[in-house]
Amino acid sequence: MNIWNDKGHFINGVWTGAMGGTSVENPADRSTVATISAGTTTEVNAAVAAAKAALAGWMATSVAERAAVLAKVGAMLEERQDDFAKAITLEVGMPLKLAKMIQVGLPLQSFQNTARIADAFPFERKVGNSTVIQEAVGVVAAITPWNYPLHQIAAKVAPALAAGCTVVLKPADLAPLNALLLADLFEAAGAPAGIFNVVTGPGAKIGLHLATHPDVDMISFTGSTKTGAMLAREAASQIKRISLELGGKSAAVVLEDADLAKAVKATVNACFLNSGQTCSALTRLIVPQARKDEAVEIAREATRAFVLGNPLDPATRLGPVISHKQREGIRHLIQTAQNEGGTLVTGGADAPEGLDGGYYVKPTIFADVSPDATLAQEEVFGPVLAILTARDDDDAVAIANNSRYGLSGSVWAGSEERATAAARRIRTGQIEINGGRFNALAPFGGFKQSGYGRELGEFGIEEFVETKSLQF
């Protein structure tokens, strides 16, 4: 099944470059769903040149004009939700119903929200005898991951364009189709040439070249902490702006007076979403020592609902992981957890029956995990939950903070006041209180090795501006 007729790269408002060269694999059955262009430094240079040439004109447009482009793209995305959802299901493996709701629903909100709030953003204000201007940082290199590909693209592209920046996007090698479909929308919307460019190809080669290009003013990167650290070093050598959204090992803290059943079920759901391939996944469940056995049984039972299978099948709740490499890394960490004394509650490293054709991993839970164990410290990026125990609130907070990451988390307690008191002490970028819903207007980003910078809402626009003051 080929779902994309390759047209090359989208540079300066047109499709260009050699066609074909790189296969996009369906992780559910390893079939090829598309063949796309493998870019080179030549295409990157052309895209950066187009973005640089378009910058002055785009910065000079009114905020209303920029918002109108975003709104038009958002409207087209809304009309084509089914096409985008199917493409992402085939390249990523998330079940189709969830892909439409999350993988397309969130980026749709990003375009719509940014178009709406841009007009109220304080691009210019008076401070005494000065006029303070928030001005576009310039040409932005957006380098995005494969797990929530369109969401991460929209969270960078929409606010960058609203700020007056121009963008060169290098989407993930494993999931590039949604980026090319988005370029189709920008072309159909009549967006000014050069403001949004897409170059596909190997990240190690063209991603690094894009990030270090002297005409790129800012890097916005989502991906691994290892790659983020490398890009930060490269950016520092050029005194270049960089925003990083990296790994996570987020904790769900359940205090003794919490609704245990509700908290554990919600944590299992959050851990296994997208087959565990979520940077903000709640992968550590911290429960009171006295309630461990009860929590383990609730988690075991909740896991039964996660039916593995073809993500196009409506009965499927858990699809494959993205690749052979990803699956083998997850299996290795599961085996490591067993070797280090964790108690296997359900799942395991062996392949699920009847699903040999794809990259499937059983939803897996370990109990009796030490706070310093590999499973409690390393990001698995797969459907694996570690259950830990705490003596009291202070111990639970200390365990939650015992991580080099700080991206997300949750706290459950019998009262909002008690949960909030604990949440304020946890060093992480966002925390759900008693199951609080995700807010697409709130800032998203991390502490510590989870990165720096914030995305979404007005906070996303703030990342892409420089401050200038005019004295009168």
Domain ranges of the chain: 9-246+450-471, 250-440
What is the rounded CA–CA span in Å between residue 162 and residue 239? Answer: 24
35 strand-pairing partners: 23
Query: 121 — alpha (psi -120 to 50), left (phi > 0) or beta?
Result: beta
Measured at the alpha carbon of residue 8, what is the angle toward residues 4 and 14, in degrees to the nearest 5?
Answer: 110
Q: What is the mean pLDDT of residues 81-86?
A: 97
H-helix or E-strand spanning residue 276:
none
Entry field: residues in the chain: 472
> Is 6:188 a contact under the CB 8 Å cutoff?
no
pLDDT tens-digit map of 339-392: 999 999 999 999 999 998 999 999 999 999 999 999 999 999 999 999 999 999
Residue 318 has pLDDT above 70, yes or no: yes
pLDDT tens-digit map of 169-224: 999 999 999 999 999 999 999 999 999 999 998 888 899 999 999 999 999 999 99
User: pLDDT band for position 402 (50/70/90)?
Assistant: very high
pLDDT of residue 267: 98
Among residues 25, 43, 245, 463, which one is catalytic? 245
Neighbour count for residue 307 (Cβ, 10 Å): 12
As given in the structure block, the two tokens for residue 351 are 């392949």
pLDDT of residue 2: 66
**Catalytic status, residue 455:** no
Among residues 279, 378, 455, 463, which one is catalytic? 279
pLDDT of residue 202: 85
Measured between its terminal Cα atoms, the distance across the chain in Å is 64
User: pLDDT band for position 1 (50/70/90)?
Assistant: low
pLDDT of residue 21: 78
What is the rounded CA–CA span in Å between residue 307 and residue 199? Answer: 36
pLDDT tens-digit map of 239-294: 999 999 999 999 999 999 999 999 999 999 999 999 999 999 999 999 999 999 99
As given in the structure block, the two tokens for residue 325 are 């490499």
Neighbour count for residue 442 (Cβ, 10 Å): 12
pLDDT tens-digit map of 8-39: 999 999 999 766 678 999 999 999 999 999 89
pLDDT tens-digit map of 103-130: 999 999 999 999 999 999 999 999 999 9
pLDDT tens-digit map of 54-67: 999 999 999 999 99
Residue 5 has pLDDT above 90, yes or no: no
Query: 439 — alpha (psi -120 to 50), left (phi > 0) or beta?
Result: beta
**Catalytic status, residue 301:** no
What share of the chain in percent tops pLDDT 70? Answer: 99
What is the rounded CA–CA span in Å between residue 470 and residue 370? Answer: 56
Domain spanning 9-246+450-471: CATH superfamily: Aldehyde Dehydrogenase; Chain A, domain 1 (3.40.605.10)
pLDDT of residue 22: 86
For residue 142, which phi and psi values (nearest 5 degrees)?
Answer: -105, 115
3-state SS string for 391-437: CCHHHHHHHHHCCCEECCEEEECCCHHHHHHHHCCCCCCCCEECCCC
Residue 144 has pLDDT above 60, yes or no: yes
- Fold classified for 250-440: Aldehyde Dehydrogenase; Chain A, domain 2 (3.40.309)
Residue with tokens 């790189």: 22
- Average per-residue pLDDT for the chain: 96
- The model carries a pTM of 0.97
